[in-house]
Amino acid sequence: MPAPKDEAADRRGVQVIARAAAVLRALKDHPQGLSLGELAKLLGLARSTVQRIVDALDAENLVISASPTRGVRLGPALLALAGATRFEIAELARPTMQDLSRECGETVDLSVLDGDKLVFVEQIAAGMHQLRAESAIGVSFPLHSTAPGKAMLAALEPTALANLRSRLKLLRLTPRTVTSWSVLDAELVQVRRDGAAFDLEENSQGICAVAMALALPQGEMAALSLPVPAQRFAEARPRLERALRAHCERLRVALGSGRT
């Protein structure tokens, strides 16, 4: 068992990494750069804390000076990291996602299972509607409250799902979030039967979604999903489900897997 001091050091180390990631994400949204004061205000951190984090990131060229007056911006070392970040499923699925988005006029997301959460790795944003649902690539979401998350849970082998259950916290995110395993298990049975999973304002109020899982040849799990503003989801639901099912079947054939 680690000593209490070791545990405290581990927690501080994790916190530093999380704060460094927050700095990088903030700079991603402000390519012109931010001053230390602006970063501190945006992240709710002490300026001295931001200074230490930025100095460490600057030493690795993960951030660089934006200008004498604009503080720092993302650095060139990130280009090498980004170039090494490659998701084969995103490249394979992109043409299908583009076809699906054109057919439905909605945003299409591709996510992969990452332990006890899902992460978006590709997105085709729709331009047909002024009001649309979009999330950024690289953002993670819970499994129990999202359509792609439930689709992937339903597609897991029983042993894998049993091992994951103890790690999942069914937190309430909206008044509609399922927080009971008995209710979620019943929904997963239906997802296995029908092939489609739904988020009916369970993760974010005002946003619904339909998703279907993709079992990848390497044993990984992914899902395609169509997030839609709630005000037009009910009417569009049958059409979206039919289109998603057809495109997922074609993609499964291309991936060499007919499994849902």
Please give the Cα distance from 246 to 225 (Å, whole number). 13
pLDDT at site 99: 95
- Answer yes or no: is pLDDT of 191 > 60: yes
**Would you place residue 74 in the very low, low, confident or very high pLDDT band (cuts 50, 70, 90)?**
confident
**Predicted local distance difference test score (pLDDT) of residue 130:** 47
Q: How many residues comprise the chain?
A: 260
Are residues 28 and 117 both part of a single domain?
A: no
Confidence bin at 260 (pLDDT 50/70/90): very low
Q: Other CB atoms closer than 10 Å to residue 190's CB: what's the count?
A: 14
Tell me whether residue 260 is in a domain: no
Residue 35 CB contacts under 8 Å (≥ 6 apart), including other chains: 69, 70, 71
- 220 — pLDDT class (breaks 50, 70, 90): confident
Q: What residue has token string 């927050």?
A: 22
Query: CB count, 10 Å around CB of 44?
Result: 7
Query: Domain check: are 95 and 69 in the same one?
Result: no
Give the model's confidence band at 87: pLDDT under 50 very low, under 70 low, under 90 confident, else very high. Answer: low
Mean pLDDT of all residues in 73-100 = 79
Amino acid at 117: K
User: In the sheet that 117-124 helps form, which strands lie side by side, from edge to edge?
Assistant: 140-142, 117-124, 108-114, 221-229, 207-215, 197-200
Q: Indicate which CATH number applies to the domain containing 29.
A: 1.10.10.10
User: Could you tell me the CATH number of the domain that includes residue 158?
Assistant: 3.30.450.40
Amino acid at 61: N
Residues 112 and 38 in one domain: no
Would you say residue 68 has pLDDT above 50? yes
Domain, as residue range, for 187? 86-255
Name the band, by pLDDT with cuts 50, 70 and 90, for residue 255. Answer: confident
Q: Check whether residue 53 and residue 129 sit in a common domain.
A: no
What residue has token string 């903030």? 26
Paired with 140 in beta bridges are 119
Give the orientation angle of helix 36-43 with respect to helix 4-28, to 10 degrees.
110
What is the rounded average pLDDT for all residues in the chain? 86
| End-of-domain residue from the set 66, 82, 98 | 82
Question: What pTM was computed for the model?
Answer: 0.71
Evaluate whether 23 touches 54 at the Cβ level (below 8 Å).
yes
- Sign, Cα dihedral of 228, 233, 239, 240: positive
Give yes or no for residue 2 having a pLDDT over 60.
no
What's the distance, CA 83 to chain centroid? 20
Q: What is the model's pLDDT at position 25?
A: 86
The 3-state DSSP class for residue 258 equals coil
Is residue 145 very low, low, confident or very high in pLDDT (cuts 50, 70, 90)?
very high
Average pLDDT, stretch 241-250?
A: 96
Q: 198 pLDDT exceeds 90?
A: yes
Pick the range with the lowest mean pLDDT from 44-58, 93-107, 121-135.
121-135
Residues 16 and 64 in one domain: yes
Split into its structural domains, the chain has a count of 2
Task: Look at 33-47, 48-62, 127-141, 144-158 and tell me which has the smallest mean pLDDT.
Answer: 127-141
Q: Does residue 154 register a pLDDT over 50?
A: yes
